[in-house]
Amino acid sequence: MATASSVQPEMLRTLPSDAARQVQWGFADRFDLQMLVQATRGVARGPVARLVASGGRNSHEWTPAKAELLEAFDGAGITAVFMEPEEGGLFAGPKNLALALVAFELAWVDGGAATASLAGCLALSPIHERGTEEQQRRYMKLAAPAQPGEDRKPWRGAFCLTEPIPYVGVDTGMLNGKLRIVEWKPGQEPILQVEKRGRFITNIGFANFVTAAVDSGDERIKGSCLVILEEGDPGVFDRGTPTKKMVHQLSSTGDPIFNLRVPASRIIGGYDIKDGVLVPRYNHSEVIEAVFRRTRVTVGVMTAAKLLSAVEPIIRYQRGRFRGAETATPGSVRYELGLQAREDALHRLVDVWATGEASASLAFAAARAFDELDPLEKEMEKLYAERGISGGKAKAKLLREAADQAVTLMQLPAGDARRDALNSDLLLRFVALDSSADVLCPAAKLWNTGWGAQTMREAVSLMGGYGITEDCPGFLGNKWMDAQLEATYEGPEAVQRRQLSVTMTNPVFLAQFRGWIREMRGIASEHPGTGACALATAMSMWLWTLDHLQHSKDADGSRLYQSARQGVTFPLADALCWLVAAGCQILDVLRLQREGTNDASLAEGLAGLVNFLSDLCHVQSARASGEVARICAELVFGYNRHPAWDEEGTRGCWHADELDVLEGFIPGINSYALDVVKGDGSHPKKAGPCVECHAAQPFLSLHARLDACLTGSRLAKDRAAEAVSKLMIPEALDYPA
């Protein structure tokens, strides 16, 4: 009879199925989304893949073949995802997860195709988030695909914020686009002249309308706004020349020039007239903040899809690498395993896979959070109306009070009945979810795309020379380059880091973060193989470091944690992303383990899949912990000046003659003393006397503990590598090369 210790754990048999992904990413109960995934996949692995394989990416121009993809999106229901049913949409309710799944499926094959689809939603988003009812009705209807029997083409949109240098880029406040009043008859609506030059504007080759950011160029208009421009408006609607980009060639990008007359009703969200001045209800920053908050999540999803899509082609390449050679006869290790007989090839693939899992989990968690937040935002609007709260200051006061209350409740021990209000009270639920969404979104955009682009390079390298050819299965070379664009557009990494450096210090987020640490410890006690314990220790280290930096100064007396000090705040934001991503990954695997048994189609290979994915969690947690330890150590110690061999620096050192005297009383002390200065002033050859780190002692203890927490992580990697070498994959990729 087999003893417990001799029973081999179940191994992974196949790549994760759709059913497994549905549970992991939280849409097992959404048949509508499952159908959407299948429909989108048909387009991605059909027309999109064929266009890439036939060289569609070799031109910057917007070609008829590329335009056909838009029709394929319409036909598959992709265009309609953004709209409500009454506007011609597919389903009611929040759309963040749905859009994330569309992005995932399209980017699995080509990021440009995903962008072409999403840029239409980006153009509509300002109208969706802040538009007047009339604006929403008009543009959603126009942009929805034609219903059966309707003879019209859906309108396509472009979102135009970025301007030619030296104006809008990362710094979105530097607007040059101008809005002036050219006609204002008494009692009538003002007519505006809009001048805007765009740079790198997606969809511009075919857009019928544009949502453009402009500033007042007229003393009768207050501040900035977003304005809707239409192709047929009187004046100049010049699409400009196509951008010669090296990425995402299946989307259209160019530098347009607009000089158009439009009615003031095109100002997104409307306007008021105060003392003869036209005051837009929302300035451009307020609108783009509401827009990017959601749309950046889908960009993060795209890079995750690339990483996970690389797994199957790499396995196939590695296994078949030596087949056909005389020495590689069927049955031999060379024939059967190919490059997978080599540990490094497997380990690197495990790293790529683990990063893909973590980034998908992070981005889908962010998308789900916004799906939860959207209805809460609407309820909040009702609550403001009921309480007669209208001004920004009054709202901020209410939210501040709710935030204080939420933090107090979150600090109560688990099981305290007063904590129930955190789930039942609208205001408390809102501030909690809002603060975590404020972190999840920039984290998904920053980490998935930035670290994802680095990891895509690893994926490409695993295919050798093939990886950087057009023939590479899975188009991995394209995906590597495309990932860099995903890290850049909708605000490059600096923008996300800047946002995180503010939102991650929100006390409501930090109170939840402490809760996550407790949650990870709890998980670790039930599922030690996930690496959750190491992650919890790394989370504690991050928290200690943040607190330390917020209350410390550098060697010259300057405050460390402040907005201008990006050398402090940005790396700490990066460190947080590693933690959040690895945490989301663990939670998704546990959901699969818990709920996967409900699905008969999953039951057979579930244990092996969960074991494998848990090992990937362990690998990722260890990597994340190491990154956090490295970043935090540099920040905690790096801003202190190292002692020198001068009078001040040697004040705490032993002097050789003192030691000689002491040796008489305490035999052996000589051998313990460091940094001994000799009578002639000579000293050991090093940078200076070693640093005394009393203030950082808790950090050093955490560091030592974290190192030990990595125990077992390499065994997990070995197990994952073995599983990767044994799992079955289909004979051929299901889309062309």
Ligand X SMILES: Cc1cc2nc3c(=O)[nH]c(=O)nc-3n(C[C@H](O)[C@H](O)[C@H](O)COP(=O)(O)OP(=O)(O)OC[C@H]3O[C@@H](n4cnc5c(N)ncnc54)[C@H](O)[C@@H]3O)c2cc1C
Nearer to ligand X, 102 or 278 (CB): 102
Amino acid identity, residue 473? P
CA 141 to chain centre: 31
Give yes or no for residue 571 binding ligand X (CB under 6 A).
no
How many residues bind ligand X, per CB under 6 A?
22
Nearer to ligand X, 36 or 143 (CB): 143
Q: Where are the alpha helices (DSSP H) in 270-342?
A: 284-320, 333-337
Q: From 297, 248, 305, 271, select the one nearest 95 (Cα to Cα).
A: 297
CB of 66 to ligand X, least distance (A): 14
Residue 283 near residue 225 (C-beta atoms within 8 A)? yes
Residue 250 near residue 116 (C-beta atoms within 8 A)? yes
CB of 55 to ligand X, least distance (A): 19
CB of 167 to ligand X, least distance (A): 9
DSSP 418: G
Residue 516 near residue 602 (C-beta atoms within 8 A)? no
Q: Which residue has the tokens 């934001």?
A: 573
Nearer to ligand X, 501 or 625 (CB): 501
Determine how many CB atoms are found less than 10 A away from the CB of residue 238: 14
Nearer to ligand X, 245 or 591 (CB): 245
Residue choice 146, 170, 325, 333 for contact with ligand X (CB under 6 A): 170
Token duo for residue 513: 């973060």
CB of 453 to ligand X, least distance (A): 13
Nearer to ligand X, 162 or 713 (CB): 162
Cα 131 to Cα 111, 208, 266, 279, 495: the distances in Å are: 29, 18, 9, 15, 25
Residue 532 near residue 518 (C-beta atoms within 8 A)? no
CB of 121 to ligand X, least distance (A): 11
Give yes or no for residue 201 binding ligand X (CB under 6 A).
yes
240: part of which helix (H) or strand (E)? none
Nearer to ligand X, 286 or 615 (CB): 286
Residue choice 96, 117, 162, 569 for contact with ligand X (CB under 6 A): 162
CA distance 172 to 95: 26
CB of 589 to ligand X, least distance (A): 34
Nearer to ligand X, 365 or 487 (CB): 487
CA distance 448 to 443: 8
* Count of helices and strands (H, E) across the chain: 24, 13
Q: Which stretch binds ligand X (CB under 6 A): 153-161, 371-379, 396-404, 583-591?
A: 153-161
Contacts of 587 (CB under 8 A, 6+ apart): 361, 365
Q: Which stretch binds ligand X (CB under 6 A): 161-169, 188-196, 313-321, 430-438?
A: 161-169
Residue 622 near residue 531 (C-beta atoms within 8 A)? yes
- φ, ψ of residue 158 in degrees (nearest 5): -135, 150
Token duo for residue 351: 């790293």
Q: Where are the alpha helices (DSSP H) in 600-696?
A: 600-638, 656-665, 669-672
Contacts of 465 (CB under 8 A, 6+ apart): none
CB of 719 to ligand X, least distance (A): 39
Nearer to ligand X, 494 or 555 (CB): 494
> One symbol per residue from 589 to 628: x for binding ligand X (CB under 6 A), - otherwise; what is it?
----------------------------------------
Amino acid identity, residue 43? V
Nearer to ligand X, 199 or 717 (CB): 199
Q: Which residue has the tokens 């799906």?
A: 371
Q: Which residue has the tokens 């417990």?
A: 4
Half-sphere exposure of 214 (CA within 13 A, CB side): 32
- φ, ψ of residue 724 in degrees (nearest 5): -65, -30
Contacts of 171 (CB under 8 A, 6+ apart): none
Q: From 535, 653, 547, select the one nearest 587 (Cα to Cα).
A: 535
Determine how many CB atoms are found less than 10 A away from the CB of residue 565: 16
Q: Which stretch binds ligand X (CB under 6 A): 57-65, 194-202, 231-239, 616-624?
A: 194-202
Determine how many CB atoms are found less than 10 A away from the CB of residue 638: 12
Residue choice 22, 40, 252, 253 for contact with ligand X (CB under 6 A): 253
Q: Which stretch binds ligand X (CB under 6 A): 21-29, 165-173, 332-340, 372-380?
A: 165-173
Nearer to ligand X, 177 or 356 (CB): 177
Residue choice 101, 102, 160, 580 for contact with ligand X (CB under 6 A): 160
CB of 256 to ligand X, least distance (A): 10
CA distance 429 to 207: 39
In the bound state, the residue with its beta carbon closest to ligand X is: 169
Nearer to ligand X, 488 or 540 (CB): 488
> One symbol per residue from 12 to 41: x for binding ligand X (CB under 6 A), - otherwise; what is it?
------------------------------
CB of 65 to ligand X, least distance (A): 19
Determine how many CB atoms are found less than 10 A away from the CB of residue 649: 16
Instruction: Name all contacts of 319-327 with Cβ < 8 Å and 24+ positions apart.
Output: none
Residue choice 9, 169, 515, 712 for contact with ligand X (CB under 6 A): 169
Token duo for residue 733: 């990729």
Nearer to ligand X, 159 or 542 (CB): 159
Q: Which residue has the tokens 């880091």?
A: 497
CA distance 57 to 65: 11
DSSP 246: S
Q: Which stretch binds ligand X (CB under 6 A): 158-166, 187-195, 677-685, 695-703?
A: 158-166
Residue choice 50, 245, 395, 705 for contact with ligand X (CB under 6 A): 245
Give yes or no for residue 202 binding ligand X (CB under 6 A).
yes
Nearer to ligand X, 403 or 573 (CB): 573
- Helix, strand or coil for residue 454? helix
Token duo for residue 287: 């609108």
> One symbol per residue from 114 to 143: x for binding ligand X (CB under 6 A), - otherwise; what is it?
-----x------------------------
User: Looking only at residues 282 through 321 of this chain, which bind ligand X when binding is defined by CB under 6 A?
Assistant: none
Nearer to ligand X, 434 or 490 (CB): 490
CB of 242 to ligand X, least distance (A): 10
Q: Which stretch binds ligand X (CB under 6 A): 156-164, 263-271, 408-416, 676-684?
A: 156-164
Token duo for residue 75: 């036909």
User: Looking only at residues 541 through 570 of this chain, which bind ligand X when binding is defined by CB under 6 A?
Assistant: 566
Residue 686 near residue 510 (C-beta atoms within 8 A)? no
CB of 547 to ligand X, least distance (A): 24
CB of 7 to ligand X, least distance (A): 52
Nearer to ligand X, 12 or 119 (CB): 119
Q: Which stretch binds ligand X (CB under 6 A): 74-82, 164-172, 173-181, 350-358?
A: 164-172
Give yes or no for residue 449 binding ligand X (CB under 6 A).
no
> One symbol per residue from 468 to 507: x for binding ligand X (CB under 6 A), - otherwise; what is it?
-----------------x--xxxxx-x-------------
Residue choice 200, 271, 430, 578 for contact with ligand X (CB under 6 A): 200
Given the rule CB under 6 A, which residues bind ligand X?
A: 119, 159-162, 169-171, 200-202, 245, 248, 253, 485, 488-492, 494, 566
